[in-house]
Amino acid sequence: MTDRGISETNDPRVRVLWEREGKTVRLGLEVDPPPRTPVASLPPTVRREESP
């Protein structure tokens, strides 16, 4: 099952988009109006498999 939502921030121009599937959560930023330069970038995540 997948949950999705939009969370408001203290800046009305910025919203956080989130999607949760199991233990995985994906986050995104929506900025209105879009900035001319990137707001932030994150390094790629490393997935770790859990031992049973």
Tally of CB atoms within 10 A around 35: 10
What is the per-residue pLDDT for 39? 66
Tally of CB atoms within 10 A around 18: 13
Specify the length of the chain in residues: 52
The string of pLDDT tens digits covering residues 5-52 is 999 889 888 899 999 998 899 999 888 887 677 767 777 777 777 666
Q: Report domain extents, the chain.
A: 2-31
Query: What are 27's two structure tokens?
Result: 């986050």
Query: What are 10's two structure tokens?
Result: 């203290």
* 35: nearest Cα among 18, 13, 17, 8: 13
Displacement of CA 37 from its chain's centroid (Å)? 18
